[in-house]
A and B are shown apart, each in its own frame.
Chain A
């Protein structure tokens, strides 16, 4: 990124699932990697997540889902972001996601899907390399 502005990431936990180990580890790792991280807390609706992304002016939204509800929740988050004019906001997903769902999720606007075992450094690098530069 050309400016000194830190990358801002919203770590979001949609759906009814309360397993937040991954979301919290990622939030801290991205902070340690020099990003500004806002964690939504549990059980946020796609509408709440999109509103938070707009309000917090984030470069990326990291969604954590372990419940299998990703096919319902992710496309909705992406389309709500785009509806709000957040066309450049990078959306990434982490969690328990079957391989066969990944191409479909990517076609629907999820930039990358990180499965269990991914290093937090790889996630930080991906975000750094793929967020849209700002002035």
Chain B
């Protein structure tokens, strides 16, 4: 049956006949579900969006509630920032990768730090053994940070840093490197992930107890609002929540509720809503289910705008506009037939673009095997460039706006998220919900249900549970980080410790401890300690002395 130009759904398949045609064209499955196991209807039509008020719920791009985007011109004005997450081995090696990516047309940097850095340990800590430079670049002090950004002007290049529990120390190191380059803090722009709530919920790289950790986050808000006004001191992240097994809806709901929690804490600390909230940025996952993801991004903008206006009384547009970064789903990549990942990434990235992302990271096809090689990282970047410059999808703003299906799914996402907000509000807020293990349990359950759906064959992963190849030979070369990286890093750390003024180090570390004890803003003293070349491990230790450490409840 060929639909004619003006045909409605009824005309194509009148209800009286649909039983007959169903017999003739039986459906392949009894139910059609998204990757989040959400059931999808056969057809969407005007009845599915009867409640949609075009002016109230969609409006034009650049207009409240920003469902169709925060800019009137979309990508016709400015393309998204191509920001590939990179970091491995020594600061020198990663500096080389950064320069390579910038040369190849990438326009922003994103630093991946190694696990010792994420946990606030120096490279020479016994706990760092086997982990130095493996999952990201090794950084233990200002000396490493200077090498990492050598020859990269921080006033011109925006840098995103994926660091959370010790984020305030990394912000301090970044600012001191910029200062040494002669950059003006008032002109620096970039992003600190600094989203500690999602660490307790999903990624689990924590150091201090949750409330002390929240205080450190608010310290960075306050400091940046005054001193580094163009910098985003937080990227509220759904990415890791999704990777841990959440559904698209849970990712959306928990991330935005985390955002609300940071706003609540900022207001309680006496910060000006209209000053600090515009610098809160977001970070979402782009998973396999194309339309589900697009609906998620569109709903995110609308929910945030409404929450800011109605819950917090925001008036300025910037305070109500949700800006976000997107990364394709690492968890969707397969070891089997790894080149297939290039296709997955392209489709996921397209969803991010059609959802109106401000910046994008595309995963490299070899990431289910190891950290990406130069070649794999380049294909990932080229994928974005092809979407941007060959497909024409950025020629018009929000091209899927008005689609019955996309609008119905956007509404459903919004309603689902609001329901989760009610449940979390009833617990007293997100900090309390995390302490009760609520989001953690929800995610764990979804992860398990997805695994079972996979094993029952209800969800397909091409090359894994369908179209698998027997005796497949792995021919993809992988990046190898050997133990010599740790030796080099430990050596630099020893040199740094030998060169610095030990008295100054202990004096500044004492100031950090005192600021924490007195409940003052810890940023100024942390910057002093970094300037004196106190190490990451030493500064985190000083804070551990005051705050203690987090113990995960059994969930």
A residues adjacent to B (C-beta < 8 A): 15-21, 24-25, 28-29, 41-42, 67-69, 71-73, 96, 98-100, 115-117, 119-121
Contact of B129 among A17, A72, A99, A119 (CB under 8 A): A72
- Please give the distance in Å from B120's CB to the nearest CB on chain A: 10
**Chain B 440-475 interface residues, beta-carbon cutoff 8 Å to A:** 444, 447-448, 451, 454-455, 461, 464-465, 474
Q: Looking across the interface, which residue of chain B has its beta carbon closest to that of A65?
A: B130
Residues in B whose Cβ lies below 8 Å from that of A16: 115-116, 118-119, 121, 127-128, 131, 205
Residues in A whose Cβ lies below 8 Å from that of B406: none
A117:B461 contact, CB within 8 angstroms: yes
Residues in B whose Cβ lies below 8 Å from that of A68: 131, 134-135, 370-371, 481
The reply on B244 being an interface residue by CB < 8 A is yes
- Please give the distance in Å from A88's CB to the nearest CB on chain B: 26
Main SS of the interface on chain B? loop
Docked Cα-Cα span, A72 to B116, in Å, equals 15
Residues in A whose Cβ lies below 8 Å from that of B444: 24
A120:B370 contact, CB within 8 angstroms: no
Docked Cα-Cα span, A21 to B480, in Å, equals 25
Docked Cα-Cα span, A116 to B444, in Å, equals 18
The reply on B69 being an interface residue by CB < 8 A is no
- Please give the distance in Å from A76's CB to the nearest CB on chain B: 9
B134:A67 contact, CB within 8 angstroms: yes
Q: Which 9 A-B pairs have the closest CB atoms?
A: A72-B130, A18-B204, A69-B130, A16-B115, A68-B134, A117-B464, A99-B474, A115-B335, A98-B478
Q: Looking across the interface, which residue of chain A has its beta carbon closest to that of B368?
A: A116
The reply on B552 being an interface residue by CB < 8 A is yes
B369:A98 contact, CB within 8 angstroms: yes
The reply on B106 being an interface residue by CB < 8 A is no
Sample (30) of A-B pairs whose CB atoms are under 8 Å apart: A15-B115, A15-B131, A16-B115, A16-B128, A17-B131, A19-B203, A20-B244, A21-B244, A21-B331, A21-B447, A25-B447, A28-B448, A42-B204, A42-B552, A67-B135, A68-B131, A68-B370, A68-B371, A69-B115, A69-B134, A72-B129, A96-B369, A98-B369, A117-B334, A117-B335, A117-B461, A117-B465, A119-B465, A120-B451, A120-B455
- Please give the distance in Å from A96's CB to the nearest CB on chain B: 7
Docked Cα-Cα span, A91 to B129, in Å, equals 21
> Known contacts A18-B205, A115-B335, A116-B335: does B451 contact A67 (CB below 8 Å)?
no
Residues in A whose Cβ lies below 8 Å from that of B394: none
B residues adjacent to A (C-beta < 8 A): 115-116, 118-119, 121, 127-131, 134-135, 199, 203-206, 243-245, 331, 333-336, 368-371, 444, 447-448, 451, 454-455, 461, 464-465, 474, 478, 480-481, 483, 552, 554
Docked Cα-Cα span, A21 to B451, in Å, equals 11
B368:A25 contact, CB within 8 angstroms: no
Contact of B448 among A25, A69, A116 (CB under 8 A): A25
Residues in B whose Cβ lies below 8 Å from that of A28: 448
Number of interchain pairs (Cβ within 8 Å): 91
- Please give the distance in Å from A124's CB to the nearest CB on chain B: 11
Residues in A whose Cβ lies below 8 Å from that of B206: 18
- Please give the distance in Å from A103's CB to the nearest CB on chain B: 12
Docked Cα-Cα span, A19 to B368, in Å, equals 14
Q: A42-B552, A68-B131, A68-B371 are in contact. List 13 more A-B contacts (CB 8 A).
A: A16-B127, A18-B199, A18-B203, A25-B245, A25-B451, A41-B552, A67-B131, A72-B483, A96-B368, A98-B480, A100-B478, A117-B335, A117-B336
- Please give the distance in Å from A117's CB to the nearest CB on chain B: 4
Q: Looking across the interface, which residue of chain B has its beta carbon closest to that of A41?
A: B552
Residues in A whose Cβ lies below 8 Å from that of B336: 117
- Please give the distance in Å from B396's CB to the nearest CB on chain A: 38
> Known contacts A21-B245, A72-B129, A119-B465: does B370 contact A96 (CB below 8 Å)?
yes
Docked Cα-Cα span, A69 to B116, in Å, equals 12
> Known contacts A29-B451, A98-B370, A117-B336: does B474 contact A17 (CB below 8 Å)?
no
Q: Looking across the interface, which residue of chain A has its beta carbon closest to that of B125?
A: A16
B447:A24 contact, CB within 8 angstroms: yes
Residues in A whose Cβ lies below 8 Å from that of B335: 115-117
Q: Looking across the interface, which residue of chain B has its beta carbon closest to that of A68?
A: B134
Residues in A whose Cβ lies below 8 Å from that of B371: 68
- Please give the distance in Å from B441's CB to the nearest CB on chain A: 11
Residues in B whose Cβ lies below 8 Å from that of A41: 552, 554
Docked Cα-Cα span, A16 to B280, in Å, equals 28
Contact of A20 among B116, B204, B451 (CB under 8 A): B204
Docked Cα-Cα span, A24 to B130, in Å, equals 23
Docked Cα-Cα span, A31 to B485, in Å, equals 40
Residues in A whose Cβ lies below 8 Å from that of B205: 16, 18
Q: Looking across the interface, which residue of chain A has its beta carbon closest to that of B129?
A: A72
Residues in A whose Cβ lies below 8 Å from that of B448: 24-25, 28-29
- Please give the distance in Å from B426's CB to the nearest CB on chain A: 26
Residues in B whose Cβ lies below 8 Å from that of A120: 451, 455
Docked Cα-Cα span, A21 to B474, in Å, equals 25
- Please give the distance in Å from A78's CB to the nearest CB on chain B: 15
Residues in A whose Cβ lies below 8 Å from that of B203: 18-19
Residues in B whose Cβ lies below 8 Å from that of A116: 333-335, 368
- Please give the distance in Å from B104's CB to the nearest CB on chain A: 25
B455:A15 contact, CB within 8 angstroms: no
Residues in B whose Cβ lies below 8 Å from that of A96: 368-370
Docked Cα-Cα span, A33 to B387, in Å, equals 45
Docked Cα-Cα span, A96 to B367, in Å, equals 9
Residues in B whose Cβ lies below 8 Å from that of A100: 478
Q: Looking across the interface, which residue of chain A has its beta carbon closest to that of B474?
A: A99
Docked Cα-Cα span, A24 to B483, in Å, equals 29
Residues in A whose Cβ lies below 8 Å from that of B115: 15-17, 67, 69
Residues in B whose Cβ lies below 8 Å from that of A24: 444, 447-448
